[in-house]
Each structure stands twice: as C-alpha cells, then as structure tokens.
Amino acid sequence: MPDSLALTESTYYILLSLYRPQHGYGIMQQAESLSRGRVRLAAGTLYGALNTLCDKGWIIQLPVDNGSRRKEYRLTERGLEVLKQEVRRLRELAENGEAILKEEL
C-alpha cells in the first residue's frame, strides 16, 4: 500500500498513540480513549498491525530490557510524515463537508 492512501481508522489511532513511545496495552487503551470507544483493538489485531507498520518502516520496536516481555514501539520520521499527511487529508475532507453542508451543521 503506497503511503499516499487513506489510513484505516485503526491504523490512524495506532500511529497517533505512538506519538510518544508506548507498549501494546497502552496503545489499545489510548486508541479506545481517543476514538471515544469506536476503535477497540484486540491483541491479535494490534500485534498484526504493529508488525505490518514495522515492515513499512512507519514504527520501530524499541530494545527490550533483559527479562522483560513488554515490547514498546515508537513512530519513525516516515511514520510521523504519514500521520501528518493523514491529518491534512482528514482536515480537507472536513472543510469540504462543512462548506457544502454549512447550513445543515
């Protein structure tokens, strides 16, 4: 998938949650909170998405402390650019909708 395509809502919230380094459970909690409960990531879905995002170079897994099972991730520069691009795209969508529906909103 080219970086210029629209992100799924789950991917958007995963990337947004990784603006600061975060572990899997924290990502699940933050995505649910930010989306007001619309995005609820199951562990299998989340870790599959994290692997895909690592493969794309949008996030990286941070080194794991000895004896720890907790994996933390963070955005890469490319991931931050993808996230910014998506925010611009969403802003344009909202502005266009508001311009057309200005009397309805």
Residue type, 96: N
In the prediction, which pLDDT does 1 show?
42
* Nearest Cα residue to 14 out of 59, 78, 61: 59
Determine, yes or no, domain membership for 2: no
- The candidate with the shortest Cα–Cα distance to 53, out of 32, 22, 30, is 22
C-alpha to C-alpha distance for 33 and 75, rounded to whole angstroms = 19
Q: What is the pTM of this model?
A: 0.88
Spell out the per-residue pLDDT of the chain, length 105, in tens. Answer: 456 689 999 999 999 999 999 999 999 999 999 999 999 999 999 999 999 999 999 999 999 877 777 899 999 999 999 999 999 999 999 999 999 998 776
CATH number of the domain residue 38 falls in: 1.10.10.10
Whether 3 maps to a domain, the answer reads: no
Distance CA 13, CA 58 (A): 13
> Is 4 part of a structural domain of the chain?
no
Q: For residue 51, is it within any domain? A: yes
Q: Please name which of 13, 35, 1, 20 lies closest in space to residue 75, comparing C-alpha atoms.
A: 20
In a domain, 14, yes or no: yes
| pLDDT the model gives residue 103 | 76
Q: For residue 88, what pLDDT is reported?
A: 96
Q: 93: domain range?
A: 9-100
**Domains of the chain: total:** 1
